[in-house]
A and B are shown apart, each in its own frame.
Chain A
């Protein structure tokens, strides 16, 4: 198939896959995740080196039809490099990517028609209207005529820009531009939607709208690869999550599986002032403390049993010269998993 006649990719918002008795409902999106649904994207042993730095060191994962897969990690973890290799924007030093079994690389022109790509930075034409932006990229993917018009109308409604469709996007707010950025990626109804940190720099209201839209896409059967350094986004959207750091996927699974890896650990968060660094060092040496990290006056501490270790913990912190302003004890979340796996707080790494 040539680029002149790209596949009329699943132009419609895909229908929800049929569920089976074995289907499991995703807590994240509410989608029916079918374990034996066909694999849409398979990435195997992806590698990329920039000079002396190996940015991606053998990343592998699969995404099935209707599944939202999250790559959760801090800035510089290799998320964007990975997603760029997946969509053929970046050459690979090793590994392979297939979309519905067809190899994807920089020259796989026809196969790319099945991918929708939403880059981290805005990628829209400021001197064109939202409608013109959508029409241009829609035609690029082979849409035309009535089909294009109807898809533009649908997507404009989905991203809430119908009223402003004929305004130049340079006049849009940041949130509106972000929504259009996403809308362009899903206009042609791709088999696989790649979202590279689509909510960075977005106000909370727009962010919420964006996340709801993405969750809806997942419910309709689209395979989604979502990268983020926001734990709550991964928890909210993703059926499975790969925790990536230093170019490696450190762990992978559902949120429940990832948290379960930590055993019976609790997460303690202390709000402190004074000698925070000294407190971290002192706490790390305590029996029953798995790991500790500090950021912005807060100590994130993983302990085996909060009820048993908490009195000694507080005493140690105060002896180290820190003043405790607040104490919170949580069940472990993805933040705690990241801390457990890397020894660093996700928020710390992300900023």
Chain B
């Protein structure tokens, strides 16, 4: 381990004397984060405008309007405006500026109390898929609650062997509504956990360029071979596996330093809100493991520094694009949202987003941390096995 640390320290010293390495590890991601966040401002921050046409005006319609739909306004992610008719609602959507409209039909409350099916119409604006989907989900969630109450009423009536009178219905409905659900889904809407523009671009540029920093460890083996120093080290009292470990440690240390600088600089310069420090640290460390693992695997298939650099860069860019480092996945097509899950970039950004939900904590990043670590350890193990040939005397 002592020798591996020696090699890592030496690599670190070389790396930070290399202006191009510093440029790639720190200056470029920081600069791009600054540019993107200043150019795009808050354009990508989710905020919706909904209109509600309550044609019922009954007790349950009011609950839907005030408590359920109104919660979006309380959370600061939507503005809610009431209109009188369905036509007004459609007109508001067609006129633009409105994300979607909720139309609560007349007889809504009565139908529910009678155990009859009801429909809440969601009128989505063209191109507002995410906002419409949120509206639909809210209505669905309310509907699920209604079904639970109706089921309670039906069950009691069946047990009693007679129809319930209105007083009993009201009492039982109140009890059923107040019951704590056995499974609580909190903040299931991805759109509600959006990062601010500054945070998103800071994080996405950091993870994108992290791959360039991470690859330098193993790629430098080719440089060492070219300048003869690898042979010199191998001629000494050093195991080949120790050299590989030293290179990995060097890449890890370089990445940790670069990411730390980026987090601090983007927080100070553009107000990026990375989230709970413990969670951020865990995410960053696991992302570094993933990036080093994947880079090692890629580099292990190459034979020259040039080929290694080119292949690693191509993979980094591809994963970056798929992983949503240029476009938030909440605004991306469905297919891209799925492909994102195959990239460490996507899981890193997802993990950060998970820590920014309402009431979220650092622990909410743990699933992403786990996936990133798994990605890194699996690819890294294969990469290391293959990379042994780079340091094995022939």
Interface residues of A (CB under 8 A from B): 3-4, 6-7, 87-91, 106-107, 109-110, 112-113, 115, 117, 119, 121-128, 132, 136-137, 139-142, 184
- Cα A140 to Cα B237 in complex, Å, equals 7
Would you call B231 an interface residue if the criterion is a C-beta within 8 Å of the partner chain's C-beta atoms?
Answer: yes
User: Is there contact, CB below 8 Å, between B2 and A119?
Assistant: no
A127-B17, A127-B18, A128-B13 known; A109-B238 Cβ under 8 A: yes
User: Is there contact, CB below 8 Å, between B238 and A91?
Assistant: no
Would you call B393 an interface residue if the criterion is a C-beta within 8 Å of the partner chain's C-beta atoms?
Answer: yes
Closest chain B CB from A85 CB (angstroms): 9
For A7, list chain B residues within 8 Å (CB). Answer: 237
For B6, list chain A residues within 8 Å (CB). Answer: 136, 139-140
Closest chain B CB from A169 CB (angstroms): 11
Would you call B140 an interface residue if the criterion is a C-beta within 8 Å of the partner chain's C-beta atoms?
Answer: no
Would you call B389 an interface residue if the criterion is a C-beta within 8 Å of the partner chain's C-beta atoms?
Answer: no
Inter-chain contact total with CB atoms closer than 8 Å? 81
For A127, list chain B residues within 8 Å (CB). Answer: 14, 17-18
Q: List 14 A-B contacts (CB under 8 A).
A: A4-B3, A88-B234, A88-B235, A89-B231, A91-B394, A112-B236, A112-B238, A117-B235, A122-B227, A125-B227, A132-B13, A137-B232, A137-B236, A140-B6
* Interface of chain A, main secondary structure: loop
Would you call B233 an interface residue if the criterion is a C-beta within 8 Å of the partner chain's C-beta atoms?
Answer: yes
Contact partner, A119, options B231, B237, B394, Cβ 8 Å: B231
A89-B234, A109-B239, A123-B227 known; A4-B14 Cβ under 8 A: no
Known: A106-B392, A122-B228, A141-B236. 8 other contacts (CB 8 A): A3-B237, A7-B237, A89-B393, A91-B393, A110-B237, A124-B227, A125-B229, A127-B17
Contact partner, A3, options B228, B242, B393, Cβ 8 Å: B242
- Cα A91 to Cα B394 in complex, Å, equals 5
Would you call B1 an interface residue if the criterion is a C-beta within 8 Å of the partner chain's C-beta atoms?
Answer: yes
User: Is there contact, CB below 8 Å, between A140 and B231?
Assistant: no
The size bracket of the interface on B is 20 to 34
- Cα A3 to Cα B238 in complex, Å, equals 6
User: Is there contact, CB below 8 Å, between A140 and B227?
Assistant: no
A88-B393, A127-B14, A139-B6 known; A3-B227 Cβ under 8 A: no
Closest chain A CB from B351 CB (angstroms): 36
User: Is there contact, CB below 8 Å, between B235 and A87?
Assistant: yes
Closest B residue to A168 by beta carbon equals: B17
Would you call B84 an interface residue if the criterion is a C-beta within 8 Å of the partner chain's C-beta atoms?
Answer: no
- Enumerate the 5 nearest inter-chain pairs by beta-carbon distance, A residue then B residue, closest first: A123-B228, A117-B235, A6-B237, A123-B232, A113-B237
For B141, list chain A residues within 8 Å (CB). Answer: none
Would you call B171 an interface residue if the criterion is a C-beta within 8 Å of the partner chain's C-beta atoms?
Answer: no
- Cα A87 to Cα B233 in complex, Å, equals 11
Would you call B10 an interface residue if the criterion is a C-beta within 8 Å of the partner chain's C-beta atoms?
Answer: yes
From 1 to 27 in chain B, residues with beta carbon under 8 angstroms from any chain A beta carbon are 1-3, 6, 10, 13-14, 17-18
- Cα A6 to Cα B394 in complex, Å, equals 24
- Cα A110 to Cα B392 in complex, Å, equals 17
User: Is there contact, CB below 8 Å, between B394 and A140?
Assistant: no
Closest chain B CB from A116 CB (angstroms): 9
For A88, list chain B residues within 8 Å (CB). Answer: 234-235, 393
Closest B residue to A142 by beta carbon equals: B237
For A6, list chain B residues within 8 Å (CB). Answer: 237
- Cα A125 to Cα B230 in complex, Å, equals 11
For B242, list chain A residues within 8 Å (CB). Answer: 3
Closest chain B CB from A56 CB (angstroms): 14
For A137, list chain B residues within 8 Å (CB). Answer: 232, 236
Contact partner, A124, options B2, B229, B231, B236, Cβ 8 Å: B229
Closest chain A CB from B101 CB (angstroms): 64
For B393, list chain A residues within 8 Å (CB). Answer: 88-91, 106
Closest B residue to A4 by beta carbon equals: B2
- Cα A139 to Cα B5 in complex, Å, equals 11
Closest chain B CB from A181 CB (angstroms): 9
A122-B227, A140-B3 known; A117-B237 Cβ under 8 A: no
For B227, list chain A residues within 8 Å (CB). Answer: 122-126
For B3, list chain A residues within 8 Å (CB). Answer: 3-4, 140
User: Is there contact, CB below 8 Å, between B237 and A141?
Assistant: yes
- Cα A310 to Cα B1 in complex, Å, equals 69
- Cα A6 to Cα B237 in complex, Å, equals 7
- Cα A186 to Cα B175 in complex, Å, equals 88
From 233 to 283 in chain B, residues with beta carbon under 8 angstroms from any chain A beta carbon are 233-239, 242
Closest B residue to A120 by beta carbon equals: B228
Contact partner, A136, options B10, B18, B394, Cβ 8 Å: B10
For A110, list chain B residues within 8 Å (CB). Answer: 237
Closest chain A CB from B253 CB (angstroms): 16
A89-B231, A117-B235 known; A4-B13 Cβ under 8 A: no
